[in-house]
Amino acid sequence: MSADLPIVLVGLPGAGKSKVGRLLARDLDVPHIDTDAMIVERTGRSIAEIFASEGEAIFRLLEARAVADALEREAVISLGGGAVVTEAVRDRLAGHTVVYIDATHDELLRRTGSRRHRPLLVQDPSAVLCRLREEREPYYRAVATLVVPSGPGPASDVAATILKHLELS
């Protein structure tokens, strides 16, 4: 493979970053790091609890630290959907292989609509996802070295597409 590690996956909530990340890491025989899971492990609290008790600003600080630590490893890294809103995170991603997994609005809604563990999507997921796309897509595209669409097909198809593109680069 010609892409350097780490490989970082970004995208909106429900884009499949964690699932695709696990598959990609397995295919490459490297660890998978989910920065949201790192934060939960480090704090002993869920993302929703951190948002509720300390707010988004504190969560973003914890997230930026987790991203910085993860980028030190040779791994596939799945970032939380909002990590790119933090300038320090965007700066740290420079020079790394960053894949933006771009799923349609309907697909994101299908994947996230019934789940309540996503604090930003608890009320009116459709409207929130529209707002998040409008706010975050410019950041995703700015940090991405590769954009890969994700539809209703299996996550393994997205992982295979990423592998194919990375092997050609």
Residues 16-45, mean pLDDT to the nearest whole number:
96
Residue 112, classed as helix, strand or coil, is helix
Q: What is the pLDDT of residues 52-103, one digit of tens each?
A: 899 989 999 999 999 999 999 999 999 999 999 999 999 999 999 999 999 9
pTM for the model: 0.92
Quote the percentage of the chain above a pLDDT of 70: 91
Q: What is the CA angle 79-57-131, rounded to 5? A: 65
pLDDT tens string 128-139:
889 999 999 999
The string over 130-161, giving b where at least 16 C-beta atoms fall within 10 Å of a residue's C-beta and e elsewhere, is eebbeebeebbeebbbbebebeeeebeebbeb
